Amino acid sequence: MAKKFIADRAEFKPSVLMQLAGLSKGMDDLIDLSIGDPDFTTPEPILTAGYQDALKGYTHYSPAKGYPDTIQAVVGSYKRDLGIEIAPENVLIAASGAYSCFLACFSTINPGDELLVADPTFLAYKAQIAYAGGMPVFFPTYEKDDWRIKAENAEPFITEKTKGIFLCNPNNPTGACLHREDLQAIYDLAEKYDLMIYADEIYTAYSYEVPFTSMLSIPGAAKRTIVINSLSKNFVATGARLGWIIAQPEIINACTMVGVNVVYTAPAISQRMAKFALNQGTQYMGDIMKEFKDRMFKTAERINRIPHLSVQCPPPGTFYLFVNVKETGLDDVEFTMKVLKEAHVTVVPGSDFGELGKGYVRICATVGLPKLMEACDRIKALGL
Ligand SMILES: Cc1ncc(COP(=O)(O)O)c(C=O)c1O
C-alpha cells in the first residue's frame, strides 16, 4: 500500500553491500572490511572542546553560515596546512561532507544539466546529481593510470549540456591521489568548456606518496571550484556530521539559501569541535594517521603475496585498497560472495562503484593490523 506513495527518485535498490549484511548475520568470527568509517574514537581533546563549549551555551542554532570562529578556523587551516588563501565569505559550514555535496548539487544543477563523474565513483554523487535533476555522465579511470583522473578521458564526454566535473581526491574507492599536473589538466579542461569543478577533498590527510594538492592551489581554479571537506575522516569524527564548502561568495550564498530551508544550520556542538580540531587538533592525529599508513602499506604488501590478487603498492592514499581479482577467474561479486561465505570476510565488489570497478574489490583498512592480516590469511587459504 505505502509503496504507491514513494517518489521515483527514492526507489530502494539494495546494493550488493546491503545484501552482504544479511548474509553475514550470525558469523561470530566475521572480519568486516567493508566499512568506510575509521575505527578510532575522535581524540578526546576535540570531544572535550565541543562539550565545554556546549556547557557555555553553544546548544542553539548558529548563524546560517556557521559560527564566525569556526569559519575562521577553516580559513586558518587552509592557510597553515596548504598555503591557500581563502576569505570567510568563501566558507559555509554544513551538516557533513555528504550534505555539503548535496547543497553544492542542489544550488548549481538545473534539470537537464550533465555532470562528469569519474568511474568508479563514490556513489552518493550519482544519486545527489540525479536528485537535483541533473544527469551523471561517467568517464573512465584506469588501474594502469593508478586510477588518477585524467582530463583527456573526460573530454570526449563533454556536450553542450555539461555543467561540471566531479573529482574525489584522494579517491574513494580507488585510493588514487591526483598529482598537480592532473589537477592542472582538469582545470584547463574546465576553462576550455566553462565547467564548474566539484572537488571532494574529504580525505585530505590521507595522501602517502605525493603531498595532498587541493584543486584550490591551481592558479585561477578558485573561481570555478566548489571544495567539499569535513571532519569525518581527517579527524576521525564521522558521527559529528560536520563539513564545509569553499566556493565563490555567490555559490556560498546559494548553498546557504538551500541549506536554511532544509537543515537550517550545522550542529552547534560539532561546530565547536571543528573550531578546536582545525585550530589545534592535528597534534592529536599523528599516531592515528601513522597507524592508517602502516595498515595500508602492510596490507597491500600482504595482498600482493596472495596468488592471483594484486593491488597498487605502495598505496597512494585514503584507507581503501582497490584489489584486482580478475586473475582468480571469479567476477568481483562472485569473489565477494565466496570470501564472505567461506572465509567470513566482508569486502565490497568494485562494480558497486561503477562499470569500471568490475573485477576489483574494495578493502577498508578500518580494522587493526592483526585482523587485516588474519583476513588475508583466510583469503589466501581459499586457494583462489
Ligand atoms: C568521497 C566521500 N565524500 C563524502 C563522504 C561523506 O562524508 P561525511 O561523513 O563528511 O558526510 C564520504 C564518506 O565516506 C566519502 O567517501
Which residue range is the domain that position 78 belongs to? 44-283
Q: Which tens digit of pLDDT belongs to each residue from 47-72?
A: 999 999 999 999 999 999 999 999 99
Q: Count up the domains in the chain and report the number.
A: 2
CB of 378 within 8 A of CB of 344? yes
Please report the pLDDT score of residue 11 as a whole number. Answer: 77
Decide the pairing of beta strands 162-168 and 135-140: unpaired
Q: Is 312's pLDDT higher than 90? A: yes
CA distance 253 to 246: 11
CB of 350 within 8 A of CB of 333? no
Sequence-distant (≥ 6) Cβ neighbours of residue 26 within 8 angstroms = none
Q: Is 379's pLDDT higher than 80? A: yes
Please report the pLDDT score of residue 9 as a whole number. Answer: 86
End-to-end CA distance of the chain, in Å?
A: 46
Tell me the β-bridge partners of 121. none
Interval 310-317 mean pLDDT: 97
Q: Which tens digit of pLDDT belongs to each residue from 170-189?
A: 999 999 999 999 999 999 99
**Three-point CA angle 35, 41, 46, nearest 5°:** 130
- Ligand 1 contacts CB of residue 169 (under 6 A): no
Interval 222-248 mean pLDDT: 98
Q: Is 328's pLDDT higher than 90? A: yes
Q: Which tens digit of pLDDT belongs to each residue from 123-164?
A: 999 999 999 999 999 999 999 999 999 999 999 999 999 999
H or E segment to which residue 322 belongs:
strand 320-324
Same domain, 105 and 203: yes
Same domain, 259 and 315: no
Asked if residue 90 is part of any domain, the answer here is yes
Same domain, 52 and 157: yes
Same domain, 112 and 160: yes
Asked if residue 182 is part of any domain, the answer here is yes
pLDDT band at 12 (very low <50, low <70, confident <90, very high): confident
Please report the pLDDT score of residue 381 as a whole number. Answer: 98
- Closest residue by Cα to residue 240 from 201, 272, 198: 272
Same domain, 218 and 292: no
Q: Is 17's pLDDT higher than 80? A: no
* Atom nearest to 243 CA in ligand 1: 10
Asked if residue 316 is part of any domain, the answer here is yes
CA distance 60 to 62: 6
Same domain, 293 and 319: yes
Mean pLDDT of the chain: 96
* H-assigned helices in 83-115: 97-108
- Ligand 1 contacts CB of residue 96 (under 6 A): yes
CATH number of the CATH domain containing 144 = 3.40.640.10
Same domain, 85 and 98: yes
Q: Does residue 330 or residue 21 have the better pLDDT?
A: 330
CA distance 129 to 109: 7
Same domain, 153 and 26: no
Decide the pairing of beta strands 225-230 and 162-168: unpaired
Interval 308-319 mean pLDDT: 98
Please report the pLDDT score of residue 377 as a whole number. Answer: 98
Please report the pLDDT score of residue 200 as a whole number. Answer: 98
CATH number of the CATH domain containing 346 = 3.90.1150.10
Q: Which of 100, 201, 227, 230 to mutate to test the pocket of ligand 1 (most atoms within 8 A of CB)?
A: 230
Same domain, 189 and 238: yes
Please report the pLDDT score of residue 371 as a whole number. Answer: 98
Whether omega for the bond prior to residue 68 falls within 30 degrees of 0, making it cis, is no
Instruction: Give the Å distance between the CA of 182 and the centre of ligand 1.
Output: 22
Asked if residue 3 is part of any domain, the answer here is no
Interval 286-308 mean pLDDT: 98
Asked if residue 55 is part of any domain, the answer here is yes
pLDDT band at 231 (very low <50, low <70, confident <90, very high): very high
Same domain, 218 and 346: no
- Ligand 1 contacts CB of residue 170 (under 6 A): no
Percent of the chain with pLDDT over 90: 93
Asked if residue 5 is part of any domain, the answer here is no
Residue 378: all three cell numbers together: 583466510
Asked if residue 7 is part of any domain, the answer here is no
Q: Which tens digit of pLDDT belongs to each residue from 263-288?
A: 999 999 999 999 999 999 999 999 99
Please report the pLDDT score of residue 295 as a whole number. Answer: 98
Q: Is 98's pLDDT higher than 90? A: yes
CA 15 remoteness from chain centre: 18
**Three-point CA angle 102, 105, 108, nearest 5°:** 145
pLDDT band at 167 (very low <50, low <70, confident <90, very high): very high
Asked if residue 262 is part of any domain, the answer here is yes
Q: Is the torsion defined by CA of 82, 86, 88, 93 positive or negative?
A: negative
* Atom nearest to 98 CA in ligand 1: 11
End residue of a domain, out of 283, 300, 319: 283
CA distance 277 to 148: 30
End residue of a domain, out of 263, 283, 303: 283
- Ligand 1 contacts CB of residue 34 (under 6 A): no
* Atom nearest to 242 CA in ligand 1: 10
CB of 22 within 8 A of CB of 336? no
- Ligand 1 contacts CB of residue 232 (under 6 A): yes
- Ligand 1 contacts CB of residue 90 (under 6 A): no
Q: Which tens digit of pLDDT belongs to each residue from 352-377?
A: 999 999 999 999 999 999 999 999 99
End residue of a domain, out of 283, 306, 323: 283
Same domain, 55 and 38: no
DSSP letter (8 states) at residue 188: H
Site of grid cell 546557504: 256
Residue 366: all three cell numbers together: 578500518
Q: Is 21's pLDDT higher than 90? A: no
pLDDT band at 15 (very low <50, low <70, confident <90, very high): confident
Same domain, 28 and 57: no
